[in-house]
Homo-oligomer: A and B are copies of this chain.
Amino acid sequence: MDRYARSVAERSRRIPEATVARLPVYLRALVEESDAKATTISSERLAELAGVNAAKVRKDLSYLGSYGTRGVGYDVEYLMFQMSRELGLTHDWPVIIVGAGNLGHALANYGGFRDRGFPVAALLDADPSKVGGRIQGIDVRAVDDLDDLVAELGSVIGVIATPAVAAQEVADRMASAGITSILNFAPAVVTVPDGVSLRKVDLAVELQILSFYQQQRDGGPDDEAGNPDAPATPTDPAAPAVG
């Protein structure tokens, strides 16, 4: 198969959502392995570093193309490059955070965003008393500046770090300002127009999920007298909730 045909075939491949969610983890593992001066890596080793099994790694990578060499493994640098390209990480994405409370503050300070190509370009708040302050070299601006800032900074990714009640309105304003990817930290369900991607991180929900499994282990919901059979761990090695 010639080069042109191959690239067309790759483009039309639809990558499953579950795979997309794992690519960043593989990428991180590859960076580590590259720092450790490895030049090639097997699916087995990559699986170990990423905390999944080797079959899954191979299947996932196969959606990107046939970048491995049988009998050898994958070239670390080449795979890193292909993966970065696929994830759109060949350039920075300036993000705009709305909500300069506890969490917004912490996120703005969090170096992990900048380090991975997501510099915090602006921090907005609705509270006039917060506007004008400076956090980690970033001016706190008014939410009403959103349209201007999106245009000025060319941001397409927004982060919602407001209280729950404000989340939907902020999402609406982001969408109408031209933001097309939103990460929501507010403990509220928000809806976005077609063409806008949304992901959510709900800190309390994560603890509540842990609480469920914790309690299963402790003997299940107790509405009767003591239960003698202590159910074993519901441990499926592949289940996301359990190690």
- Whether B157 and A241, one on each chain, are in contact in the complex, defined by CB atoms closer than 8 angstroms, is no
A28 to chain B, nearest CB (A): 7
- Whether B49 and A93, one on each chain, are in contact in the complex, defined by CB atoms closer than 8 angstroms, is no
- Whether A212 and B25, one on each chain, are in contact in the complex, defined by CB atoms closer than 8 angstroms, is no
A165 to chain B, nearest CB (A): 11
Known contacts: A112-B187, A157-B214. The answer to whether A198 contacts B89 by CB under 8 A is: no
- Whether A209 and B203, one on each chain, are in contact in the complex, defined by CB atoms closer than 8 angstroms, is no
Q: Specify which of B113, B220, B224 is in contact with A203 (CB 8 Å cutoff).
A: B113
* Nearest B-chain residue to A110, judged by Cβ: B102
- Whether B107 and A214, one on each chain, are in contact in the complex, defined by CB atoms closer than 8 angstroms, is no
Give the interface size class of chain A. Answer: 35 or more
Contacts of A129 in B (CB 8 A): none
> Hey, what's the 0/1 contact readout for A1-33 against B, CB within 8 Å counting as 1?
001100100110010010011011101110000
Q: Which residues of chain A (179-211) have a CB below 8 Å from chain B? A: 180-183, 187, 189-199, 201-211
Task: Tell me whether A176 is interfacial, beta carbon within 8 Å.
Answer: no
- Whether B225 and A210, one on each chain, are in contact in the complex, defined by CB atoms closer than 8 angstroms, is no
A106 to chain B, nearest CB (A): 3
Q: Specify which of B50, B181, B221, B228 is in contact with A211 (CB 8 Å cutoff).
A: B181
A108 to chain B, nearest CB (A): 9
Contacts of A17 in B (CB 8 A): 239-241
Task: Tell me whether A85 is interfacial, beta carbon within 8 Å.
Answer: yes
- Whether A24 and B205, one on each chain, are in contact in the complex, defined by CB atoms closer than 8 angstroms, is yes
Task: Tell me whether A105 is interfacial, beta carbon within 8 Å.
Answer: yes
Q: Specify which of B28, B193, B194, B235 is in contact with A194 (CB 8 Å cutoff).
A: B235
A interface residues, Cβ below 8 angstroms from B: 3-4, 7, 10-11, 14, 17, 20-21, 23-25, 27-29, 49-51, 85-91, 93, 95, 102-103, 105-107, 109-110, 112-113, 115-118, 154, 156-157, 180-183, 187, 189-199, 201-215, 217-218, 220-221, 223-225, 227-228, 230-235, 239-243
- 11 additional A-B pairs beyond A7-B223, A107-B203, beta carbons within 8 Å, are A11-B227, A21-B205, A85-B223, A112-B187, A113-B204, A182-B243, A192-B243, A195-B233, A196-B242, A199-B206, A201-B203
